[in-house]
Structure 1
Amino acid sequence: MTTTMTSKGQVTIPKPIRDALHLKPGAAIEFSVNAQGEVVLHSGKPKMGKAVTIDRFEAVRGKADIKWRTDDLMALLRGDD
């Protein structure tokens, strides 16, 4: 299969290759050159130590150990005595 490189160095990976590697939009891709000078394309794996972004609200959902009642919480926040 042949593809054309743009002036920015971008190429389109042909669909049969994307399908074979199970590549989806946003997927990491690793390139290497083997001993014969051929470019080898690998489905990239997330690097160790790279943090996965988690929604900050999902990260704390269900973590509270105090069961607040709405009226009690509103009284505390408003300063009602």
Structure 2
Amino acid sequence: MTHRVGPKGQVVIPKELRDEMGIEPGDEVSFWRHDDHVALRRAGRPANLRGRFLASELTNELERERRADRDREAVR
């Protein structure tokens, strides 16, 4: 598989490799020199935090603490 480098120094990552590596439009990739060639890998994606604490008691604990704070403030 060979591709020509464009005038801006850009090359296209073949679809087969993008699919295999999970590279999607907008993803960041990192490059480095490895001996006599250039290597590429998908840069780490930020973790999706949605629903991360669903199984935890964190929300309930925070609500209890806030109620206790309000009760203490009301006594003053």
Taking structure 1 as the reference length, the TM-score comes to 0.51
Instruction: Provide structure 1 residue ranges, at least 5 long, that are not aligned to the other structure.
Output: 48-81
Q: Which residue number corresponds to residue 31 of structure 1?
A: 31
Q: Which residue number corresponds to residue 42 of structure 1?
A: 41
User: Which residue identity is paired with 1:33?
Assistant: R
Taking structure 2 as the reference length, the TM-score comes to 0.54
- Larger % of helix: which? 2
Distance (Å, rounded) in 2 between the aligned partners of 1:46 and 1:37: 28
User: Which residue identity is paired with 1:3?
Assistant: H
Instruction: Provide structure 2 residue ranges, at least 5 long, that are not aligned to the other structure.
Output: 47-76
> Which 4+ residue blocks in structure 1 deviate beyond 3 angstroms?
none
How big is the alpha-carbon RMSD for the aligned residues of Structure 1 and Structure 2?
Answer: 1.6
- Identity fraction in percent: 35
Distance (Å, rounded) in 2 between the aligned partners of 1:46 and 1:21: 13
